[in-house]
Chain A
Amino acid sequence: MKLPRAWVLAFGITLALLAGCHRDAQPSWRLTDVSGHLPDLAFKLTDDNGKPVTAADYRGKVLLVYFGYTHCPDVCPLTLAQLHVVMQRLGAKADDARILFVSVDPARDTPQTMHAYVNAFDKRAVGLVGPDKDIEALAKQLRSAYTREPDKGDGSYDVSHSSAIYLFDRDGKARVLATPSASQDDMVHDLSLLIDLGAKA
């Protein structure tokens, strides 16, 4: 049996209204909502103190995950500087968040170089390194990609990489996605909402 078109329309409108009501209870993100579209954060890597870590070690913290490498002279420092300013603007609240800077250059980035690098930007930034296969697995999980470009002749090379910043909630669930061109206000807004979610009263 075919439902009359008017009924279908009415049903659709009711659903939309219900969804509208329901959405009010949800955070109104300004960045791209990716809830339910990416798997929960999972990795086994080494932090910038040389300690083996997994995603579970960061449960309870809101995470900003960003792929890059220390020899990246421009885009990565710009993004990390912006993330630092975003964290600064949150004040003490930012202690509930961590920036995870994941190296896509396993050949050159060591825990030591990553340690000096991330701390030059923000004390709440963590550098993560690991073998190519583990970095690739995480990148794949997050629908991200990176490519080592050809040698420039003097042994140096660039690595092209996805420039997105992934924001995870305290339970390791992917919530929103930001591009490096996202406004600082929007980043502060969404990060603040994420920190409020599940904060201990």
Chain B
Amino acid sequence: MMPRPSLLAAVAATLWLLIAGSAIAGDADTVTASNAWIRVLPGNLPAGAFADFTNASDHAVALTGASSTRYGQAMLHRSSTEGGMGRMEAVDKMEIPAHGSAKLSPGAYHVMLMQAKPAVVPGDNVVITLSFSDGSHKDVTFQARPANAL
């Protein structure tokens, strides 16, 4: 018996989506993340998320944002202590150079997470979706660690 045309169409569509899907994965595929963690603070205080990235491709990639179903809001920030003043600013992106690496780390670039729901406690694993400049996304599991972790 011949498969019904509608089934063929569905299979074709699925194949096409898989191919297209891998094509738009792009930068997310050439970037690897490691040592991903969140500094958990008491109460409903904002938390910083940190990770190390390497870019295996021959072009620079930019991390442009983050989101998580576990947090109401996630923003890319950079803190500094230039001139002896501790301050923080929202940034559009963090560049990861070609065949190079970059870090989200305490006191520098980080993802600021707000409004955890339910509360995140040390030991939890939290999935954060990272967005890259070419529109691709990557899910990375961050480990929640105590406030005084270094």
Q: Which of B42, B88, B149, B150 contacts A74 (CB 8 A)?
A: B88
CA A161 – CA B88 in complex, angstroms?
10
CA A76 – CA B106 in complex, angstroms?
10
B31 CB to nearest A CB, Å: 22
**CB neighbours of B106 from chain A (8 A):** 74-75, 77-78, 81
- Is the pair A158, B87 in contact by a Cβ cutoff of 8 Å? yes
Cβ-based interface call for B86 (8 A): yes
C-beta contact mask, A55-91 vs B, less than 8 Å → 1, else 0? 0000000000000101111111110111011000000
- Is the pair A117, B85 in contact by a Cβ cutoff of 8 Å? no
Cβ-based interface call for B146 (8 A): yes
**CB neighbours of B101 from chain A (8 A):** none
**CB neighbours of B77 from chain A (8 A):** 73-74
- Is the pair B148, A179 in contact by a Cβ cutoff of 8 Å? no
- Is the pair A73, B150 in contact by a Cβ cutoff of 8 Å? no
Cβ-based interface call for A122 (8 A): yes
- Is the pair B149, A70 in contact by a Cβ cutoff of 8 Å? no
B39 CB to nearest A CB, Å: 6
Q: Which of A75, A82, A85, A156 contacts B86 (CB 8 A)?
A: A75
Cβ-based interface call for A138 (8 A): no
Cβ-based interface call for A160 (8 A): yes
- Is the pair B148, A80 in contact by a Cβ cutoff of 8 Å? yes
**CB neighbours of A164 from chain B (8 A):** 84
Q: What are 18 inter-chain pairs, A to B, with CB distance below 8 A? A: A70-B43, A73-B46, A73-B48, A75-B79, A75-B106, A77-B39, A77-B41, A77-B48, A78-B106, A80-B148, A81-B39, A81-B147, A113-B42, A113-B45, A116-B43, A117-B43, A145-B85, A163-B84
